[in-house]
Amino acid sequence: MIQEQLNETSQYLIKKGFDAPEIGIVLGTGLGKLADELKDPIVAHYNHIPHFPLATVEFHSGKLIFGQIEGVKTVVMQGRFHLYEGYDFKHITYPIRVMHSLGIKKLLISNAAGSINLDLKKGMLMLIDDHINLQGGSPLAFKEVSLFGERFVDMSQPYNQELSTALLNAAKKEGITLKKGVYASVIGPQLETRAEYRYLKLIGADAVGMSTVPEVIVANHLNLPVAAISVITDEGDPDNLQPVSVSEIIKIAEEAEPKMMRLFKEVIKGIGSRSL
């Protein structure tokens, strides 16, 4: 059934002009402006795409956009899906399977996250080197999963080394601080308590958010190289925890977004020149 749905979704997008993209990008909270960089954009609104979920969060716009960045055909997911919206793992990760079926060869993901490691300050970027899945499930736990790849996916290196190194090199070139760290993914939508921040630090997390991990698991299932960056939007110091509003998180993400855009564009340029 999911295979038939994917075929219908892909055919709809191909007819709209989504022509063999090489790169897929997922944009996180407050990080939607990279879509404006696409040349000759073709826009498909989620509510028009067959079998696509709808973005229910007001600050996620809900568009799949095809175009070129640095001369490379790219499809950008402007607005993602979350467990806290009431979706299940299959819905959350359906767009990753769609982009893969359209032909993408590499996937770049961004998110907004709170820091556990207090060396990570608001507005800084963190390259996700590993993750901890605290969402209580897996996007691979369904009957038809073996039709798409190995059920028991190895996750010893979930984030592609080549893409991650390219992002680190781009950061060095652009003079942008990019620290490596471990991302913990929780359900949300509530933010963490002081005790939860202490727990996350104890288990080895450097940052926490409510997305990304299901998408990365599916990318690994599809043998799709993936790299991800967190924009640090708030600091989870349990001994000095301040109230945080979503509007403040979005504001900080938007201020930091140009740095992330420069890194993604530099890596895509490398892909375009076939050095990646």
Q: For residue 276, name the pLDDT band (cuts at 50, 70, 90).
A: low
Q: Taking residues 192-200, report their average pLDDT.
A: 97
Residue 265 CA, chain-centre distance (Å), reads 15
Does 264 score more than 60 pLDDT? yes
Minimal CA–CA distance to 99: which of 177, 14, 196?
Answer: 14
| Contacts of 11 by beta carbon, 8 Å cutoff, 6+ apart | none
Instruction: Please provide the distance, in angstroms rounded to a whole number, between the alpha carbons at the two ends of the chain.
Output: 35
Please give the single-letter amino acid code of residue 173.
K
Query: DSSP 3-state helix, strand, coil percentages of the chain (rounded to 5)?
Result: 40, 25, 35
Residue corresponding to tokens 């599916």:
218
pLDDT tens-digit readout, 102-149:
999 999 999 999 999 999 999 999 999 999 999 999 999 999 898 888
pLDDT tens-digit readout, 3-57:
899 999 999 999 999 999 999 999 987 777 888 889 999 999 999 999 998 766 6
Domain ranges (residues) in the chain: 2-272
Assign domain 2-272 to its CATH architecture: 3-Layer(aba) Sandwich (3.40)
Q: Taking residues 144-158, report their average pLDDT.
A: 92
Q: How do strand 125-133 and strand 226-235 relate by DSSP bridges?
A: antiparallel
Quote the CA–CA distance of 243 and 227 in Å, as a whole number: 31
pTM (predicted TM-score): 0.94
Q: Taking residues 207-215, report their average pLDDT.
A: 97
> With contact defined as beta carbons under 8 Å apart, do 22 and 74 qualify?
yes
Write out the two tokens for 131. 């993750």
Residue 255, SS3? Answer: helix
The predicted pLDDT at position 57 comes to: 60
Phi, psi of 129 (to 5 degrees): -100, -25
The predicted pLDDT at position 35 comes to: 84
Minimal CA–CA distance to 177: which of 131, 133, 124?
Answer: 124
The predicted pLDDT at position 183 comes to: 98
Positive or negative CA dihedral for 140, 131, 259, 254?
positive
pLDDT tens-digit readout, 158-175:
999 999 999 999 999 999
More confident call, 242 vs 153: 153
